[in-house]
Structure 1
Amino acid sequence: MTDTLAATLADPARRAEARARLDHLCGRGTRFLGSEYALLGGAMSWVSERNLVSAISNAGGFGVLACGAMEPARLAEEIAATQALTSRPFGVNLITMHPQLDDLVRVCLDAGVTHIVLAGGIPSSPVIRAIKDGGAKAIGFAPALVLAKRLIRSGIDALVIEGSEAGGHVGPVSLTVLAQEILPHVHDVPVFVAGGLGRGDAILSYLELGAAGAQLGTRFAASSESIAHERFKKAFIRANARDAVTSVQLDERFPVIPVRGLNNAGTSSFLQHQAETLRRFQSGELTKEAAQLDIEHFWAGSLRRAVIDGDVEHGSVMAGQSVGMITDVQPVREIIGELVDQAIDALIRQEERARYG
């Protein structure tokens, strides 16, 4: 970096101008979320609980509680505990296939939750309507343009488009492609991008394409406020992007929902388990239904073992490909500040290139 550019990047007036431009690009997202920054925390089971969610919201982002398999009473407790830690808005992520989804929606509405994120499938129109009638905003995931349009017709208030670079359960399409497919054609509702995001300048590029903001999970999972085990966080620091791989399906008769996580002994064991289950099915020892259940149950409890117990060799260490950008455990406020600074730096550099070529 030249001395002149370094001085320009450090100039308070130039940074204030660039920050104003960034705020303008994020304006639709921040107005929708009610936060200072249009940055949502990804909902990660066992990680996105009261401490991390409140820390994200208190730092100016928008935290999102992961309900996962919680019962209504347990969710009510977690919402109340989060509200005790922050007065700023946060959301709750609900899984659409949860057998008590309607009750969970009611818990959120009764607690005054302002935004409900519906994940794990395409939510029904009645569920979206119940959320809106209750005074909250409904956010859905759109893995394709046709589904984005369908959700908008159903009344969804905002969309998240999440690329295959993300951690946890993922679809087959990268964020780069999804953004090109969806952002130019969806203007009725805010669209937030997610998947593999680890730097503010990358987020800026999607804002300039029309995104309202971004969702990040992996970087926040390794934050100081995350309750994840220290061994879990250290595994993130050691990892490269190529270490975050999706689970492999051995036989098309037994579908495996792709999950991205760090390659470890558990990954190898899962392949061996599939092969052994396939052998037992072919020998008549297991029915097809029993074999499928056996495969699906392999990872039961494994995410908790990794996050809470620190078993990063045999547990499921879910992580996005942005894990390669994590070099240290940082406070949430520092992570958000870094992202904002990187976006501001990129805007100043753009202006310098436009001025001088």
Structure 2
Amino acid sequence: MTTYSLTSALMRRGAEFLGSDHAILCGAMSWVSERNLVAAISNAGGFGVIACGAMTPELLDTEIAATKTLTAKPFGVNLITMHPMLFDLIAVCAKHQVGHVVLAGGIPPKGSVEAIKESGAKVICFAPTVALGKKLLRSGADALVIEGSEAGGHIGPVSTSVLAQEILPELAQDNLVFVAGGIARGEAMAGYLEMGACGAQLGTRFACATESIAHPLFKKAFFRASARDAVASVQVDPRLPVIPVRALKNKGSEEFTAKQIAVARMLDEGSVDMGQAQLEIEHFWAGALRRAVIDGDVERGSIMAGQSVGMVTKEEPVVDIIATLLAECEQALARRKAA
């Protein structure tokens, strides 16, 4: 068995926190991060995370149970904070004694962090700024993920490299901070680990793994794409606060613009309030993503991908992806140590 002593030393805190061999999380990708990919990542020594997305509590219950039949290793569940049944989903995680819950999509609503921790689970939150990171830690978050705009899916406005420089020196010494967004090679992981990160989260790099159930046409779109093909969506109406989404540009991108106009009109007419309007947008993305990932509709579906997509060129088993990342990271750290 290959050992990665330099990498393991820098990942030790993160790996111990996750209960995995390596502090490499899989970003939660709706329709992609399901039982097969999640179990494969955990079995390979990483940390798989189920993407709950728009699932009902019943569907999440089934998915967690099915994942447990495929791996005895730890894995987590990602919950969207604006989900209308968030507390029911938290109860499902507690029922299955899920050890780690990731809260994404906004500031956790009152009582949600406490509800998760009541079952003994650890809470991981996304922090786009130092101030919010500190607030989340004070509110009970056990670890943070800082994710830059290079990532796929929902993104913030600031790049990973800038977030790392702002947040790691402030928070990483005394807290667990994972870095995400645009990471596809071990050399990048090495740099962030040396800055104080306790591990890394990757999504796009795992989306086309052999164990991923994504449609062959979805994977082929990844293999053909370059970094500049993964573009962020545009906000049409300033009254409708839509979190940008990064995906490969296609007809589906144009349809999202039309969807925003339609939802803004519903706001004008008073047929929906702001919360309902945002859920309309989220349901659009869930449906569009499903068409691409499951049905293979790469023309009108949403092919969510980070800018690292240009480095995803072939289908590989998860175990090989993780081994390559670790080897690259170890070699980079060894070169710097020898210099």
Counterpart residue number, 1:65: 50
Q: Find 1:128's aligned residue among 108, 113, 123.
A: 113
> Aligned-pair distance for 1:300?
5.6
Looking at structure 2, the residues matched to 72 and 225 of structure 1 have their Cα atoms a distance apart, in angstroms, of: 25
The residue type paired with residue 209 of structure 2 is: S
Q: Do the aligned partners of 1:92 and 1:115 also contact (CA within 8 Å) in 2? A: yes
Query: Residue 145 in 1 paired to residue 127 in 2?
Result: no
Q: Find 1:226's aligned residue among 197, 212, 220.
A: 212
Q: Do the aligned partners of 2:30 and 2:286 also contact (CA within 8 Å) in 1? A: no
Counterpart residue number, 1:259: 245
Looking at structure 1, the residues matched to 200 and 100 of structure 2 have their Cα atoms a distance apart, in angstroms, of: 15
> Aligned-pair distance for 1:272?
5.5
Q: Superposed, which structure 2 residues align to 1:275-354 within 5 Å?
A: 277=262, 287=269, 293=277, 296=281, 299=285, 301-352=287-338, 354=339
> What's the Cα RMSD here?
2.4
Query: Residue 163 in 1 paired to residue 145 in 2?
Result: no
Looking at structure 2, the residues matched to 130 and 287 of structure 1 have their Cα atoms a distance apart, in angstroms, of: 37
Looking at structure 2, the residues matched to 299 and 25 of structure 1 have their Cα atoms a distance apart, in angstroms, of: 37
Give deviations 1:152-202, integer Å, cap 9, x for gaps. Answer: 111111010111111001111111111111111113321000001000010
Query: Residue 43 in 1 paired to residue 28 in 2?
Result: yes
CA separation of 1:201 and 1:31: change in aligned 2, threshold 3 A:
same
Tell me, what secondary structure is at the counterpart of 2:201? Answer: strand
Structure 1 spans left out of the alignment, 5+ residues: 1-11
The residue type paired with residue 218 of structure 1 is: T
Counterpart residue number, 2:139: 154
Looking at structure 2, the residues matched to 255 and 34 of structure 1 have their Cα atoms a distance apart, in angstroms, of: 37
Query: Residue 22 in 1 paired to residue 13 in 2?
Result: no
Tell me, what secondary structure is at the counterpart of 2:243? Answer: coil
> Aligned-pair distance for 1:125?
5.3
Q: Superposed, which structure 2 residues align to 1:179-218 within 5 Å?
A: 179-186=164-171, 187-218=173-204
- Superposition TM-score, scaled by structure 2 size: 0.92
Counterpart residue number, 1:83: 68
CA separation of 1:200 and 1:110: change in aligned 2, threshold 3 A:
same
Give deviations 1:297-346, integer Å, cap 9, x for gaps. Answer: 65461110000000111110000001010110111001000000101111
Q: Do the aligned partners of 2:54 and 2:286 also contact (CA within 8 Å) in 1? A: no
> Aligned-pair distance for 1:250?
3.0
> Aligned-pair distance for 1:243?
0.3
Q: Do the aligned partners of 1:223 and 1:331 also contact (CA within 8 Å) in 2? A: yes
Looking at structure 2, the residues matched to 267 and 247 of structure 1 have their Cα atoms a distance apart, in angstroms, of: 7
Counterpart residue number, 2:78: 93
CA separation of 1:329 and 1:151: change in aligned 2, threshold 3 A:
same
Identity of aligned residues (%): 61
Larger Cα Rg: Structure 1 or Structure 2? 1
Tell me, what secondary structure is at the counterpart of 1:177? Answer: helix
Give deviations 1:187-219, integer Å, cap 9, x for gaps. Answer: 332100000100001011000000000001111
Counterpart residue number, 2:227: 241
Looking at structure 2, the residues matched to 173 and 155 of structure 1 have their Cα atoms a distance apart, in angstroms, of: 25
> Aligned-pair distance for 1:268?
3.1
Q: Do the aligned partners of 1:125 and 1:154 also contact (CA within 8 Å) in 2? A: no
The residue type paired with residue 216 of structure 2 is: E
Q: Find 2:160's aligned residue among 175, 178, 184.
A: 175
> Aligned-pair distance for 1:126?
2.3
CA separation of 1:271 and 1:104: change in aligned 2, threshold 3 A:
closer
> Aligned-pair distance for 1:255?
3.9
Q: Do the aligned partners of 1:125 and 1:155 also contact (CA within 8 Å) in 2? A: no
Shifted more, 97-106 versus 171-180: the winner is 97-106
Give deviations 1:91-125, integer Å, cap 9, x for gaps. Answer: 01111111221221121112121101111111145
Q: Do the aligned partners of 1:223 and 1:332 also contact (CA within 8 Å) in 2? A: yes
Q: How many residues align structurally?
A: 334
- Superposition TM-score, scaled by structure 1 size: 0.88
> Aligned-pair distance for 1:290?
6.4
Structure 2 spans left out of the alignment, 5+ residues: none
